[in-house]
Structure 1
Amino acid sequence: MTNTDMKDIAYRGVRDEDQPKFPWRPSLGLLFGGCGWMLAGCAIQGILLPAKISEIAPDNKVSIVALVTTVTMLVSIVAGIVGGALSDRTRSRFGSRTPWIVGYTVVGSIVLLVFAFADNLAVVLGAWWIYAAIYNAMLAAGCAWQPDQIAPRWRGTASSMYGVGHQAALQGSQILAAPFVSNVPRGTIVVLVVAAIINSVAVLICREPSNRGVPVEGGSMGFAETFKSFLPPAHAGRDYWLAALARFLWMAPGGIGTYRLYTLTDYMGQSKDDAGYWMGIMATLGMVVAITFCVVSGPISDRFRSVKIPLAVAIFTVGLPCWLPFFVPTPVMYVVYVAASSIGSGVFSSLDQSIMTTVLPNPKTAAKDLAFLNSCGVVGNLAAPLIAAGVINVFGYRGLFPMGFTILTLAAVCVFCIRKVR
């Protein structure tokens, strides 16, 4: 393929006829990137930040976690969309996304070191908010590797590989961080080193091609046009917005995981060390189950050309086991719930990116438009502790589980109503 062909593909988007063979390099890049881009953020938000807050302000830990997420939500929305738009307009010998991924990894590592060793609550929260911006901007740039470099015919399998990385980050972050709930600085260093290594591997494997000769969408723009280029697509269509709502609802029950440590200690009567032990078991078992189903779901989806129905069923499958710890509130039943819901979580992680890249309105603004969809998930994830805190205040920790079932059922309905995807 000539340089002219590569530039044309980079501008209009890769088509099925451009890619007769499976694109291993970008797909493996998504596999490692899906893990590395999310690992530190998941570990900090899910375990190390709540642990740090409980050390500094134990009497107000639930309300502080909820308050923190309000600011984080706003930071993440702006950072994801702006980061995606900036990478869309970047031209370099290393492509649009790679320079940002490398830069964010370096700066993010420095910020996390500040978080690790700070004892002042304001410094801890400030460092986290800065990292949240970096994390979401990096995710926006990195996820665009899929529409940039992978044809629609291969996106189920490629999405499955990204999903494996995503699940490895989601569950692996807990495996890495759970033993350090009593030593946050050491846990933070372990997480950031592992994440930096994985990010480097992703970049080296993907080898994003140069795009220096590709025209910038819109060319030289005035202030008004530039401002509009950072906004979500105004006329993206019904399916795009249903996908956005489904992403939000999928992540909204995440407070169940955010308050997992407190649920085990304050509701199920476990010590902090025992809670860390149970969380490690949940994370390990959940990762094995989720990755197993994630690996097989994408290729099967490509084979039968069906994504929507398996994804909708998978979301409902995650919500249904929420009733287990509601009726039997023990650590063992909590582990069973995590294992059962991880089946649907694995399928979702496999097929989610395939649906999102299919509903994108314009390949020339793929990163920005995909970033908005991802930001909807981020907003749901960051709103989750707020929702959960309200539920805890009214119903106690037990109320988290019916809340999860209800919201996830609505998310499944949204996916089922998308028309463009089979």
Structure 2
Amino acid sequence: MSSPATAPLAPRTLNRYARGYFAASFGLYLAVFTPAMVALSFKVKHIVSQDEATAALSLILSLGALSALVASPLAGRLSDRTMSRFGRRRPWILGGAVVALGALLLGGLTTSVPLLAFAWCAAQFAVNAAFAATNATLADQIPGVQRGKVTGMVGMTSPLAILGGTLVVNLVAADGLRFALPGLVAVGLAAWFVARLKDSPRTTRPAGRFSLRYFAGSFVFNPRRNPDFGWMWLTRFCAMFGYYGIAAYVPYFLSDTFGLDESGVARTMLYSNIAAAIAMIVSSPIAGALSDRIGKRRPFLAVAGLIMASALALMAFAPSVPFVIVAQGLLGLGVGAYFAVDLALGSQVLPNAADAAKDLGMLNVAAVLPQVLAPAIGTSVLAAGVAMGMGGYTLWFLLGSAACLLVGVTVYRIRALA
């Protein structure tokens, strides 16, 4: 086990930490999901024509995901080396949230696609830098046997943030406020977590200089030397391709397939996210607590992948909007169980406790990379689906379903702490 925390914590101490971690995660997810899932697609349509919107959105999402791809391991490594008197993690958590707020303000106010792309890249970099430090606190402070309970709670933050972001888009018409309000919430909740966090300053200087070679090492790991970590990385990639990679196109799917206008899409997304949030709130804490109790993680991830694959297959052939909402609820059930156990298992197979934030950042790359790959191949997959006569979105959702099915294969290649 890679964490220096080994003795079980008292319930009061564990719950105090979990509440702060929950709050910070919710705020950061809200800041990134509100634009990514709904507001950004509407913002693009307010700048360019309908015909240009899909390509512009794909470009912006790809560039933003690339920014996040760099941020997670790099900020994680820098956090591991930070000598601040405020600790290794706190400056990155609060600083990332503040920078994200500024970037989101810019994105909400601009009327230029290039400037919107720049703002989204900056926001993605900042949020993922904050997440790298936030997630590292789990490995720093919580024993492996208690992490399922914590990650089970935190697994609920993603659907709640998506639901909260959808509510913002439904209740607020101005693009500036749609971007700024989530950023303000993120700063407030990050500050609250930082104020409660016991983050001891680093007392010894890091070994070696931060050279170009050391910088490049932030983005690689040796899967032969650390096979469990490698299989964990691939497992997360498959699951997140099916979830994050596919989800960005749901607003356009609703518009193109069912002829919904912007208010209809926003309303349907709200109902879908309510269904998903309810399902995730049920499945996430149960899966996390049960995985701690029985001491196994792999079965929960495999079943979660199967549920996610089933939901995406239903989306592929959805005949009506209510059917989409039901499928989104089923997807939430699987995603909730997955999130509850994924980080708990991932934090237990880290190659080196001294590089916890960097290695967790590398795991986050597995969640971000699908967000780069999906927009890059999205237009081609949609066109191929049309050419094959099955419909572009049908093929798109089936591709995500296949990726989720692979979770049940890759997760059983992890041998330690199963």
- Using structure 2 for the length normalisation, give the TM-score: 0.91
**Structure 1 match to 2:323:** 333
Instruction: List gaps (5 residues or longer) in structure 2.
Output: 386-391
**2:373 matches 1:376:** no
Structure 1 residues 83-105: Cα deviation after superposition (integer angstroms, max 9, x where no partner): 00110011233321111111112
**Structure 1 match to 2:389:** none
**2:142 matches 1:146:** no
User: What is the letter of the counterpart of residue 421 of structure 1?
Assistant: L
Secondary structure at the aligned position of 1:380 is classed as helix
Match of 1:14 among 4, 7, 10: 4
User: What is the letter of the counterpart of residue 244 of structure 1?
Assistant: W
- Using structure 1 for the length normalisation, give the TM-score: 0.91
Match of 2:227 among 230, 238, 255: 238
Contact 1:41-1:132 at 8 Å conserved across structures = yes
User: What is the letter of the counterpart of residue 408 of structure 2?
Assistant: A
Contact 2:163-2:270 at 8 Å conserved across structures = no
**Structure 2 match to 1:197:** 188
- Specify whether residues 90 and 99 from structure 1 end up closer, same or farther in structure 2 by C-alpha distance, changes over 3 A only: same
**2:14 matches 1:26:** no
Match of 2:314 among 308, 316, 324: 324
Match of 2:404 among 405, 408, 413: 408
Match of 2:62 among 63, 70, 78: 70
Secondary structure at the aligned position of 1:17 is classed as coil
Instruction: List gaps (5 residues or longer) in structure 1.
Output: 1-11
Contact 1:255-1:387 at 8 Å conserved across structures = no
**Structure 2 match to 1:4:** none
Contact 2:283-2:336 at 8 Å conserved across structures = yes
Query: Aligned equivalents of 1:228 and 1:274: distance in 2?
Result: 46
**Structure 2 match to 1:158:** 150
1:176-325 aligned within 5 A:
176-180=168-172, 183-205=174-196, 207-213=197-203, 215-218=204-207, 220-221=208-209, 223=211, 226-227=214-215, 229-234=217-222, 236-253=225-242, 254-325=244-315
Secondary structure at the aligned position of 1:91 is classed as coil
Contact 1:33-1:165 at 8 Å conserved across structures = no
Provide the aligned length of Structure 1 versus Structure 2: 407
Question: How much does 1:139 deviate?
Answer: 1.1
Query: Aligned equivalents of 1:19 and 1:49: distance in 2?
Result: 41
Higher mean C-alpha deviation, range 233-242 or range 83-92: 233-242
Contact 1:38-1:139 at 8 Å conserved across structures = no
**Structure 2 match to 1:349:** 339
Structure 1 residues 159-195: Cα deviation after superposition (integer angstroms, max 9, x where no partner): 1122122332244323333444x53222112222222
Question: How much does 1:229 deviate?
Answer: 5.0
Question: How much does 1:304 deviate?
Answer: 0.8
Query: Aligned equivalents of 2:212 and 2:186: distance in 1?
Result: 38
**2:41 matches 1:50:** yes
**Structure 2 match to 1:399:** 395
Higher mean C-alpha deviation, range 221-230 or range 344-353: 221-230
Contact 1:179-1:277 at 8 Å conserved across structures = no
Query: Aligned equivalents of 1:168 and 1:328: distance in 2?
Result: 24
Contact 1:160-1:351 at 8 Å conserved across structures = yes
Structure 1 residues 362-418: Cα deviation after superposition (integer angstroms, max 9, x where no partner): 110000011001111111133223333322222122322211211111123111221
Higher mean C-alpha deviation, range 141-150 or range 241-250: 241-250
User: What is the letter of the counterpart of residue 176 of structure 2?
Assistant: P
Match of 1:136 among 128, 150, 170: 128
Higher mean C-alpha deviation, range 12-21 or range 33-42: 12-21
Query: Aligned equivalents of 2:317 and 2:65: distance in 1?
Result: 32
Contact 1:93-1:211 at 8 Å conserved across structures = yes
- Specify whether residues 222 and 177 from structure 1 end up closer, same or farther in structure 2 by C-alpha distance, changes over 3 A only: closer
Higher mean C-alpha deviation, range 330-339 or range 292-301: 292-301
Structure 1 residues 290-313: Cα deviation after superposition (integer angstroms, max 9, x where no partner): 012112211111111111111111
